């Protein structure tokens, strides 16, 4: 696939991305990110929740600490030039559907690159939206089960991601759900209950991450599939909203739509999905979270699943992205542009 690149290229911002990126202080990167965020127009999570249809939308699934996988996807999607180190997407909108953190070791460099592209895209009339995933949530509740490098954000990673910290306040600008044109984007998926409260969920998540819910003074347990954890002595400064927690049909954790066919015996997933889309007034939902062999869709294109395990810390699969242009949906690979209708399932 070849596409002439006639979009204006904004000037590169000199923020190097070394191969070996380690922070000497847990606040060093965070302060850089916050400084960038302050320059972004409309940087709050709920301001990003709904956008009119742009000329082009590209969605990238779970990255999990693999900078090279991210750069590869950005380049073959005509959004970024590694050689010039700048945004090349013009007025396109990029949506990254969460799970930047954990498993891989390039997390600080990935956060830096995404923040730089937010600035450059805005200068060119485009936008970069990063969504919260369950692994961002896990870091902010001090569950470091899936962390490969505990020291890459400084000596105390738990403190670096504690709600109210500079890094957590940066993540507060990442919405749980974004609606761009006639497409809803979410890390894991939306039930009807949550679809009716999208803006409230984004606001509550942002408030929690900013540490504005007040200190926790009682003993509380947060359940996960790795057991119960936390006492009142090691809790974050504030508890996460119920809508985000594991073991609920959370927009960050649910497997309902990723395992659509498997669940069809237990509840009507298509009917639930159709209700969600009607409430949001969109044509489709795009999710990550559940790993698929390749980008695929279900229910005749009502839902697209874009986590393909491309991180070298998982399966290291060749990157793919989802492109939406008007009413047309394509799957992008290195040198290929495949109409989504030609590939319903892998």
Output the 3-class SS for 47-58: CCCEECCCCCEE
Helix axes 67-76, 107-123, angle to 10 degrees: 30
CA distance 185 to 92: 16
H or E segment at 86? strand 86-87
CA distance 245 to 222: 8
Structural domains in the chain, CATH included, are 50-342 (3.60.21.10)
> What are the helix (H) ranges across 161-197?
166-171, 192-195
pLDDT digits (tens), the chain, 346 positions: 334 444 333 333 333 333 333 444 444 454 445 444 444 444 444 444 689 999 999 999 999 999 999 999 999 999 999 999 999 999 999 999 999 999 999 999 999 999 999 999 999 999 999 999 999 999 988 888 898 888 888 778 888 998 999 999 999 999 999 999 999 999 999 999 999 999 999 999 999 999 887 665 444 555 555 554 443 345 555 667 877 877 668 999 988 776 655 444 445 578 889 999 999 999 999 999 999 999 999 888 999 999 999 999 999 999 999 999 999 999 999 999 999 998 877 7
**Which residues are 284's β-sheet partners?**
183
Helix axes 107-123, 28-38, angle to 10 degrees: 10
Nearest Cα to 42, choosing from 161, 124, 129, 114?
129
263 secondary structure, DSSP code: G
Give residue-wise pLDDT tens across range 169-203: 999 999 999 999 999 999 999 999 999 999 999 99
Edge to edge, the sheet with strand 284-287 lists: 50-51, 177-180, 183-186, 284-287, 303-305, 296-298
Phi, psi torsion values for 178, nearest 5 degrees: -130, 140
Contact indicator for 238, 142 with CB cutoff of 8 Å: no
The contacts of residue 266 (CB under 8 Å, 6+ apart) are none
278-302 in b/e form (b: 16+ CB < 10 A) is: ebbebebbbbbbbbbebbbbbbeeb
Nearest Cα to 284, choosing from 190, 175, 203?
190
Give residue-wise pLDDT tens across range 218-256: 445 555 555 544 433 455 556 678 778 776 689 999 887
- Neighbouring CB atoms inside 10 A of 115's CB total 24
Number of H helices, E strands in the chain: 9, 16
The model's pTM: 0.82
């Amino acid at each position: 696939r070849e596409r002439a690149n006639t979009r204006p290229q904004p000037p590169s911002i000199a923020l190097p991305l070394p191969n070996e990126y380690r922070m000497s202080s847990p606040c060093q990167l965070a302060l850089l990110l916050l400084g960038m965020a302050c320059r972004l127009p409309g940087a709050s999570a709920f301001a990003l929740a709904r956008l009119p249809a742009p000329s082009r939308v590209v969605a990238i699934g779970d990255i999990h600490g693999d900078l090279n996988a991210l750069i590869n996807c950005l380049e073959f999607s005509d959004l970024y030039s590694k050689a010039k180190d700048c945004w090349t997407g013009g007025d396109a909108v990029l949506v990254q559907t969460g799970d930047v953190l954990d498993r891989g070791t390039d997390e600080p460099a990935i956060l830096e690159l995404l923040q730089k592209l937010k600035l450059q895209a805005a200068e060119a009339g485009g936008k970069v939206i990063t969504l919260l995933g369950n692994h961002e949530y896990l870091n902010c509740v001090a569950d470091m089960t899936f962390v490969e490098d505990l020291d890459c954000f400084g000596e105390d990673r738990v403190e670096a991601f504690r709600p109210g910290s500079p890094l957590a306040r940066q993540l507060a600008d990442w919405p749980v759900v974004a609606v761009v044109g006639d497409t809803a984007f979410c890390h894991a998926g939306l039930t009807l209950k949550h679809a009716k409260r999208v803006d409230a969920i984004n606001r509550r998540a942002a408030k929690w991450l900013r540490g504005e819910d007040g200190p926790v003074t009682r003993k509380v347990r947060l359940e996960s599939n790795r057991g119960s954890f936390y006492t009142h002595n090691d809790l974050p400064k504030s508890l996460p909203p119920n809508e985000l927690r594991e073991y609920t049909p959370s927009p960050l954790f649910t497997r309902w739509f990723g395992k659509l066919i498997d669940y069809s015996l237990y509840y009507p997933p298509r009917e639930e999905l159709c209700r969600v889309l009607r409430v949001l007034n969109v044509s489709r939902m795009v999710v990550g979270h559940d790993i698929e062999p390749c980008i695929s869709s279900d229910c005749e294109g009502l839902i697209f699943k874009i986590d393909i395990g491309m991180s070298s810390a998982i399966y290291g699969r060749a990157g793919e992205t989802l492109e939406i242009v008007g009413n047309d949906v394509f799957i992008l690979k290195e040198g290929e542009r495949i109409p989504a209708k030609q590939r319903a399932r892998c």
